[in-house]
Structure 1
Amino acid sequence: MTYERLIYRMSIRTKLFLMLLFFLCLPSFVFGFLWFEKSTKTLEDNAIQYSETLNNQVNDRMEIYFQEIRRITLPLISNPLTQKMISAGPSADNYDRYSLALPLQDELFPSILLGRSDILSLSIVSDSGLVASNLSVLSAKERFPAYDRRIKENGDYQLMGFTRVYGVPVLTLAMKFYDTITYRNSGIVIIDIKLSEIAGLSRGVKLGSSGYIRITDSDGQIIYDPDSSKWGTYISAKLLHKFDTKLKGGFTEHTSRGKLLINYLHSNITGLNIYSQVPIRELVGGLIYFRSITAGISLMLIVLALFLLGWFSLSLTKRIIALQRLMKRAELGDFSVYASYGGSFHELDSLHHSFNAMISEIRRLVEVVHKSELKEKEMQIVHRESMYRSMQAQINPHFLYNTLELINSYAIVEGVMPISKMASALAHIFRYSIGNSGREVALTEELNYIETYFTILTERYPHFSNEVHVGDQDAPKVRALRLMIQPIVENAFKHGYENHKLRPTYIGIRGIPEGDAYVLEIRDRGGGMEDARKNKINEALMLTWDREVNADGITQMDSIGLWNVHSRLRLTFGAAYGIEIAESNTTGTVIKMRLPYASELPSEAG
């Protein structure tokens, strides 16, 4: 017995048991062991990510802060007073220097520094030696050469590092400014930011109970440390080298305090290095305990899941096997089967419902097929009776033709030409109408017949006129049925004229090509009908055949002629063809008849 055969012959219960064993139990224990081994590594990675997130938060604050400092100094650089001062050459005397710097110190600097307690001093030093400062002109002038040299080497914006101004620890920021006329670098702006304000950006960030965040400049000088005594000192060269190799990263060090996690981040905007240091145990100690508790709970849940899955599989297979037996009975022709509801599985109840609906539909279809067979036999009987009546109507037609010819001859001899004309037309109508009424003809033949019919109507109604506008090239290509127009004309006389006590005056026929179909418009000038009646007739004409034979909308409105023509057209040409009432009002009614084209049509027998 092959492996595939063995699997095929297993019951659903056996397959479910094996699947639980090999795909749930065994993998659960294997992966549980691996998870326990790898969980510590994952916890450490999470600690690293958490530390990196804190570093990013501090860095974002620093970058936003220094960008704000640069933004508030832009009006200072472009101010006319500043531009006037930097445009003065080195030949300016002391009075001129004082008079140029005074408006900046008394008017411009206070407006910029208003509400900015974080800025200790703001100074402008031009290349020609002119200085304006809100604190110390001498200090700004002394620092200018070193700052100017460093900023020319590194760009337009540079943090100069830690220093003390009048005993206050500050972080100095220097920026180039340009003459707005010559666009040359004309000096620098020196901003001394209180280091206590910088420290405030890092406060509130907590890493465990003993971890901390430290900020240094690109040279390794400490800008911020929780221990303020370390401000201005330098970190070790080994640690600075690790910062220089990458923009960000992390590593661990083993110390007497245990394993330390160190993460660092370098900002391209400020040029500062931010790094954090924390013992890993302070971040993940609680998680390790939680991991152990989780492992025990997971083991208990796996055992419980196995029990529940076993119960579930037994309950599921029991109902599936019962449904399988019912389907077997249905295969043998027993359509009285019924799948009962009730249980813990909504999906199985839905499946049982679908099975019952399927059995019910099969029973209905069997009845429909049986009724269709009976209906087909009835239609065959009706067809034979129709053929029998048609044969009776054709008994000795030559006798009737000869009689009409005799009347025509007497009329000609007596000079009564209207009678001769009507007798000839009547003979043509009789010859055309006794043929098979269901036979397909070209539209040309049907139009010739209806024009003969109009000849008799013209003699009967002196005020009657008619128009037929159908293209000579279109009519031979359009498929039609015998006697399909005459019932509509008779319907127009009865309902359009007689019911409204109007004398017949006009019938018009017009042909319109519409894509793959050809439309005949049959128009009268009678009294029309109400919209409600027109809509009801059109709705009845749109019904499918199964409902048409039982529809009473047509018979109740005495429109059997329309109904019969429409039914013949649809049965012969398909559901896309037939008639509809396009318009009907007090000025008349328009009936549209949709017909197909054909390349070959049977011709009229002689």
Structure 2
Amino acid sequence: MRKSLFGQIYLYFTVVILLSILGVGVVSYMQSSRALDDQVERYISQLIRHSTSQTESYLRRYELASDSLLSEDAVKQFMEMDPEDSYRFYELTQTIQKNLFRKTFIAYPSVHSITVIGDHGKAVIDDNQNWATYTNFDPEQTLAYVNAKVPPDGKIAIFRNDDEKGRGATITIARRIRGFVSYQPKGILAMEIKTEQLAPLWDMADLGPSATFFIADESGRIIYEPSSSRLTDADMVAVASRLTGGTERSEIIPIGGEPTLFVARESAYLKWKMIVSLPVDELRRPVDSIRTTTWAVGLATLLIALLLAYRFGRTITRPIRSVMEGMRETEKGNWSRLEDHGRDDELGGLIHRYNLMVSRLSEMIDLVYDAELKQQKSELELQRSRFERQQAEFQALQLQINPHFLYNTLETINCYAIVQDSDEISEIVEAMAFMLRYSVQTHLEEITLVNELNHVRNYMVIMRHRLGNGFELDVAVPPSLLLRHMVRLTMQPLVENALQHAFRDGMEPHHYIRIDAAETADEFRVYVEDNGVGMTPEKLAALRSKLAEDAAEAEAAATAALDRPDGGGPAAARTILRRGGIGIVNVHRRIRMVYGEGYGLAIDSEEGRGTRFTMRMPRRG
């Protein structure tokens, strides 16, 4: 069964839309879930680190307070006193309570009580309310209890105090005291801090009504828990025992069948675990909202897109079917037109073009054949015309010999012949003969650089006799370049131009005309330069513009004269080209005719400093 174009379009639209919606929904949900989980976990970790840091800083203050008490002589003497000396006991007790404990309570109002107990069984105890000794206080029992908490190395111990005031009512900071004479520990110092003083530090970790923040010591006992918590004491102890190892850990643990994220951080200083719990449902509630919104928007978008795809498919396939029916009729020889129903889009244009094709099919076949024949004939005629034109242009350029130069040269020869009988006449005539023979050659398009230099030398022989001085050319061409090819009759016109225009007031000893040559990676260049009067910027710009135009008008006139059938022919061309002489444009045109449009003559000049002509030609052997 042949597939329907409408069905394919509708199917493809459906697949593309579903893939787009599912791809965007799934990827966005996964990325959002992962990003929010990481963000919340980082936020919880940051809160725990902050609370831990604040708690450690807070308790370190009381460690410093205990340092000041341990360094007091009265405390050290109390450790080594005779327990039977009642007067000494009374004296040291008064000193310690009034002079030491009172200052500490003033400096640290959060201290609940301070206790000093010697190994001899005597104790000094006071709280922050009065300076009386506790009547129900048992020094030996307290000493044994605190000694069990303090590490053997004598470092400070911080632990929860279980007393009649309730669990966690105070935090005890205890350390050993050395004697006044002996370095060995002789007793202990214990400071109790009210737990409510630390609660503000821990309440900063408020993450919402479902979150719980609690603290456990290294043995797993609970140091602090909020007044309202969804966790039982057993849950807290179990989680604290499970989250061990490493400074910071996070784990999802089911509590009462509900997955809960726990993030714990252990304080290296306190050996406590700061633990925050947050239900996973609460954690992922924003992601669930994003997922629900994505599905709702996706389904609505899918329904709208499917409706648009249906209408779009029908709009496309209905005109195509009409064209197919019309083509079937055309195959049968029925040149029927189709109704476009006023459509102005591409499909309406397709129907219009089909109708135009049907109505003009036979006519177009004849036109195609005629056009093909005419095109082939035109191309042949165009190629022949181009060949004849180029040949005529080349011949016309070769005939551009300055008649004034020949006339003046012959006049000079005549004068020498009449006035004196000398060898100069022979020299001039010989040079003239070489120049004429070299100029009238028509079969050579390229010549070597040494041939052009020889032609210039013959020209200078004649010019020395005409000008009546011994002016010489400065030829600086490297010998390795003398056999390089160039266009014939291009160097002498540049030298002639320098003699005629560069030295208006005559040639002085410091004047020169230099010929040089050089090669680049793909070009062979010949330079003709002088240090004459140079050109003004306006004249230089006009000359460059004339070169860019390629002397189109002059060449067109010369070519037209050569093609005239009325006998004008080459004579007429010579008349036209004589107006401009061989000149700079002629040189530029000859180089371009031989080597192509990418080469030719370049001019650089500065008024008062001279002119430099550069003939650019391809590098050849």
Corresponding residue for residue 481 of structure 1: 487
Corresponding residue for residue 566 of structure 2: none
Specify whether residues 465 and 54 from structure 1 end up closer, same or farther in structure 2 by C-alpha distance, changes over 3 A only.
closer
CA contact (8 A) 2:450 2:482 kept: yes
Corresponding residue for residue 591 of structure 1: 613
The residue identity in structure 2 corresponding to 1:248 is S
1:383-405 CA distances to partner (integer Å, 9 max, x unpaired)? Answer: 454687799999xxxxx9xxx9x
Are residues 1:444 and 2:437 paired?
no
Corresponding residue for residue 62 of structure 1: 48
Specify whether residues 391 and 49 from structure 1 end up closer, same or farther in structure 2 by C-alpha distance, changes over 3 A only.
closer
Residues 122-141 of structure 1 mapped to structure 2, 5 A cutoff? none
The residue identity in structure 1 corresponding to 2:277 is S
How far residue 432 of structure 1 moved from its aligned partner, in angstroms, is 1.2
Corresponding residue for residue 366 of structure 2: none
Corresponding residue for residue 222 of structure 1: 222
CA contact (8 A) 1:55 1:276 kept: no
Specify whether residues 489 and 146 from structure 1 end up closer, same or farther in structure 2 by C-alpha distance, changes over 3 A only.
farther
1:334-357 CA distances to partner (integer Å, 9 max, x unpaired)? Answer: xxxxxx996599xx9xxxxxxxxx
The residue identity in structure 2 corresponding to 1:564 is N
1:223-282 CA distances to partner (integer Å, 9 max, x unpaired)? Answer: 4433179999665654444434893221334x5xxx523211122556524242549499
Specify whether residues 412 and 17 from structure 1 end up closer, same or farther in structure 2 by C-alpha distance, changes over 3 A only.
same
Which of structures 1 and 2 has the bigger CA Rg?
2
- Measure, in 2, the Cα distance between the counterparts of 1:422 and 1:281: 115
Corresponding residue for residue 200 of structure 1: 203
The residue identity in structure 2 corresponding to 1:592 is T
- Measure, in 1, the Cα distance between the counterparts of 2:232 and 2:609: 106
How far residue 425 of structure 1 moved from its aligned partner, in angstroms, is 0.9
CA contact (8 A) 2:519 2:619 kept: no
Corresponding residue for residue 364 of structure 2: none
CA contact (8 A) 1:525 1:589 kept: yes
Describe the SS at the equivalent of 1:267: strand
How far residue 449 of structure 1 moved from its aligned partner, in angstroms, is 1.5
Bigger RCO (CA 8 Å, 6+ sep):
2
Corresponding residue for residue 332 of structure 2: none
Residues 293-442 of structure 1 mapped to structure 2, 5 A cutoff? 298-315=298-315, 376-385=383-392, 415-436=421-442, 439-442=445-448
Are residues 1:243 and 2:243 paired?
yes
- Measure, in 2, the Cα distance between the counterparts of 1:148 and 1:548: 116
- Measure, in 2, the Cα distance between the counterparts of 1:558 and 1:445: 25
- Measure, in 2, the Cα distance between the counterparts of 1:59 and 1:576: 74
Residue 490 (structure 1) aligned to one of 492, 496, 499: 496
Describe the SS at the equivalent of 2:525: strand
What TM-score do you get using the length of structure 1 for normalisation? 0.59
Aligned length: 492
Which consecutive residues of structure 1, in runs of 5 or more, have no partner in the other structure?
1-5, 126-132, 177-186, 326-339, 349-366, 395-399, 600-606
CA contact (8 A) 1:466 1:506 kept: yes
Specify whether residues 297 and 503 from structure 1 end up closer, same or farther in structure 2 by C-alpha distance, changes over 3 A only.
closer
How far residue 213 of structure 1 moved from its aligned partner, in angstroms, is 1.1
Describe the SS at the equivalent of 1:473: helix
How far residue 426 of structure 1 moved from its aligned partner, in angstroms, is 0.8
- Measure, in 2, the Cα distance between the counterparts of 1:506 and 1:323: 83
CA contact (8 A) 1:466 1:507 kept: yes
CA contact (8 A) 1:222 1:231 kept: no
How far residue 63 of structure 1 moved from its aligned partner, in angstroms, is 1.2
CA contact (8 A) 2:240 2:273 kept: no
Specify whether residues 466 and 274 from structure 1 end up closer, same or farther in structure 2 by C-alpha distance, changes over 3 A only.
same
- Measure, in 1, the Cα distance between the counterparts of 2:586 and 2:51: 90
Corresponding residue for residue 569 of structure 2: none
Sequence identity (%): 18
Specify whether residues 188 and 285 from structure 1 end up closer, same or farther in structure 2 by C-alpha distance, changes over 3 A only.
same
The residue identity in structure 2 corresponding to 1:582 is D
Corresponding residue for residue 467 of structure 1: 474
Residues 260-279 of structure 1 mapped to structure 2, 5 A cutoff? 260-268=258-266, 272-276=273-277, 278=279
Specify whether residues 149 and 63 from structure 1 end up closer, same or farther in structure 2 by C-alpha distance, changes over 3 A only.
same
The residue identity in structure 2 corresponding to 1:569 is I
Specify whether residues 171 and 313 from structure 1 end up closer, same or farther in structure 2 by C-alpha distance, changes over 3 A only.
farther
The residue identity in structure 1 corresponding to 2:477 is V
CA contact (8 A) 1:529 1:584 kept: yes
- Measure, in 1, the Cα distance between the counterparts of 2:277 and 2:190: 32
- Measure, in 2, the Cα distance between the counterparts of 1:219 and 1:502: 117
1:124-170 CA distances to partner (integer Å, 9 max, x unpaired)? Answer: x9xxxxxxx99899999999856651888xxx999756778999845
The residue identity in structure 2 corresponding to 1:57 is Y
1:519-565 CA distances to partner (integer Å, 9 max, x unpaired)? Answer: 32211232211224424544665679999989xxxx9x979833332
CA contact (8 A) 2:547 2:585 kept: yes
How far residue 436 of structure 1 moved from its aligned partner, in angstroms, is 2.8
CA contact (8 A) 1:215 1:273 kept: yes
- Measure, in 1, the Cα distance between the counterparts of 2:221 and 2:432: 124
Describe the SS at the equivalent of 2:613: strand
- Measure, in 1, the Cα distance between the counterparts of 2:53 and 2:554: 82
Describe the SS at the equivalent of 1:227: coil
Residue 604 (structure 2) aligned to one of 578, 582, 591: 582
The residue identity in structure 1 corresponding to 2:307 is F
CA contact (8 A) 1:222 1:235 kept: no
Corresponding residue for residue 333 of structure 1: none
Which consecutive residues of structure 2, in runs of 5 or more, have no partner in the other structure?
81-91, 117-125, 134-138, 177-187, 327-341, 351-373, 557-576
1:86-138 CA distances to partner (integer Å, 9 max, x unpaired)? Answer: 99999975799999xx999979x96xx8xxx9x75999x9xxxxxxx998999
**Bigger Cα displacement from structure 2, 215-224 vs 50-59:** 50-59
Specify whether residues 512 and 12 from structure 1 end up closer, same or farther in structure 2 by C-alpha distance, changes over 3 A only.
same
**CA RMSD, aligned part only?**
6.6
Describe the SS at the equivalent of 2:604: strand
CA contact (8 A) 1:169 1:195 kept: no
CA contact (8 A) 1:526 1:588 kept: yes
How far residue 453 of structure 1 moved from its aligned partner, in angstroms, is 1.4
CA contact (8 A) 2:592 2:599 kept: yes
The residue identity in structure 1 corresponding to 2:310 is G
- Measure, in 2, the Cα distance between the counterparts of 1:539 and 1:190: 103
Residues 515-554 of structure 1 mapped to structure 2, 5 A cutoff? 515-535=521-541, 537-538=543-544, 541=547
Describe the SS at the equivalent of 2:473: strand
The residue identity in structure 1 corresponding to 2:10 is F
